[in-house]
Amino acid sequence: MSAKSWLFTSESVSEGHPDKVCDRISDAVLDAFLTADPHSRVACETLATTDHVTIAGEVRGPNEVRQRVEEIARDAIRDIGYEQDGFSWKTCAVENLLHEQSADIAQGVDEGSKGEEGAGDQGIMFGYACTETPELMPAPILLAHRILRTMAEDRKSGVQKGFGPDAKSQVTLRYENGKPVAVDAVVVSTQHAEELGTEGVRELVRPYVTAAMPEGWQVSDKRLIVNPTGRFVIGGPDGDAGLTGRKIIVDTYGGAAPHGGGAFSGKDPTKVDRSAAYVARYLAKNVVAAGLAEKCLIQLAYAIGVPEPVAVYVDTQGTGRADEDAISKTLQEMVRLTPRGIRNQLDLLKPIYARTSAYGHFGRAPEADGGFSWEKTDLADELARIYGTDKISA
């Protein structure tokens, strides 16, 4: 295979995957705190295994929410669809170990005399956008999410009763001269009803894979791999333990861009692991939407207790139509990249996070209630005007 042609693969996991069950519970707890008090501080971690869930972490918010954590967890598990032997919203034990936020951390990040609070931790966060798809996302991860999301929608609506909640997908695309041109292979593993055999599951999965692909892209029969180990009836936390924050590449760009290492779920928007990753995507997407580049990678770096980022890096990966240092300066003039500035720009103090816990935090449509606000391209007109470029559709 020549240097100008290659294969690239990304994976997704469903909302019923053990780790995603934990992400969902952590974000549901976060949403409950933000509903009761938008200024709550939450760092919530979840572990799930056979008929057991443990929830731990630090919070500062209304005590009545802490008292409802078991109910919140059961509601999340029920919505995902777990009512099976070994893991059920009705029977699983729920242990609540949430406690008050550390006073040492609080004094470093609370609002100071200038109306700014410091970053909740040191760290690096990345945002990325590219022209591979209308959503300005890398195509492999977007297609992998699409397969599982449509399978889950039909499972939960009752249209398709053969699927269980736990599933994984993997999409391999062929690239030529930097552009995806065809699908090479698709792998789907899905929990299924007891009575279904391997071939029956394959035939249930096939139309979802076909529908997810762009027009003209077909997966050959030999390259569609479904439940390669055979039977997959026992699934979810009964089949494998789950933890919050273990699917960070699934959550972002499927490996097409760097990742800072910090997970998102269960963290309130004062935590830059989450909010700065969101604003980095927002800025990168607007750069691409403005026609300034076909690809844009942005890195932000923070120090605990310090409001402003210690570094901002813009890389258009050889596709830029303007100087990268100039773009970086312009972006910092347009958006204040402190924890408070990010929250204000993206209106993040809302209960909008449980919906992010599966099928990706990026590449989703902005919602009327403020969900996925970091997917807006409302800076693109001004960026295009400043640099004299033509906007692209997004």
Q: Is 273 an annotated catalytic residue?
A: yes
User: Residue 224's closest CA among 236, 239, 212, 240?
Assistant: 212
Give me 331's structure tokens: 């972006």
Instruction: Tell me the CA end-to-end span of the chain in Å, nearest whole number.
Output: 32
Q: Is 271 an annotated catalytic residue?
A: yes
Q: Is 247 an annotated catalytic residue?
A: yes
Q: Cα separation of 390 and 384, whole Å? A: 6
Give me 324's structure tokens: 């990268």
Binding residues: 17, 19, 45, 58, 101, 166-168, 231-232, 240, 246-247, 263, 267, 271
Other beta carbons less than 10 A from residue 180's beta carbon: 19
Binding residues for ATP: 17, 166-168, 231-232, 240, 246-247, 263, 267
Q: Is 285 an annotated catalytic residue?
A: no
Q: Cα separation of 47 and 331, whole Å? A: 39
The single residue listed with the structure tokens 């273990």 is 246
Helix (H) or strand (E) holding 66: helix 63-66
Q: Cα separation of 65 and 36, whole Å? A: 8
- Exactly one of 11, 15, 17, 375 is catalytic; name it: 17
Give me 15's structure tokens: 């909302």
Binding residues for Mg(2+): 19
CA atoms within 13 A on the CB side of 384: 16
Phi and psi at residue 54, to the nearest 5°: -115, 130
- Exactly one of 60, 145, 246, 364 is catalytic; name it: 246
- Exactly one of 51, 184, 240, 308 is catalytic; name it: 240
- Exactly one of 11, 20, 281, 284 is catalytic; name it: 20
Report the alpha-carbon angle 163-81-67, nearest 5.
165
Question: Quick check: helix, strand or coil at residue 238?
Answer: helix
Q: Is 68 an annotated catalytic residue?
A: no
Q: Is 246 an annotated catalytic residue?
A: yes
Q: Is 240 an annotated catalytic residue?
A: yes
Binding residues for K(+): 45
- Exactly one of 36, 56, 58, 259 is catalytic; name it: 58
Q: Cα separation of 59 and 391, whole Å? A: 43
- Exactly one of 74, 267, 281, 343 is catalytic; name it: 267
Q: Is 90 an annotated catalytic residue?
A: no
Q: Is 267 an annotated catalytic residue?
A: yes
- Exactly one of 60, 192, 247, 281 is catalytic; name it: 247
Residue 168 identity (one-letter amino acid) = K
User: Residue 25's closest CA among 80, 102, 107?
Assistant: 80
Q: Cα separation of 16 and 45, whole Å? A: 17
Rounded to the nearest 10 degrees, the angle between the axes of helix 324-334 and helix 380-387 is: 140
Binding residues for L-methionine: 58, 101, 240, 271
User: Which positions are annotated as active-site residues?
Assistant: 17, 19-20, 45, 58, 168, 232, 240-241, 246-247, 267, 271, 273
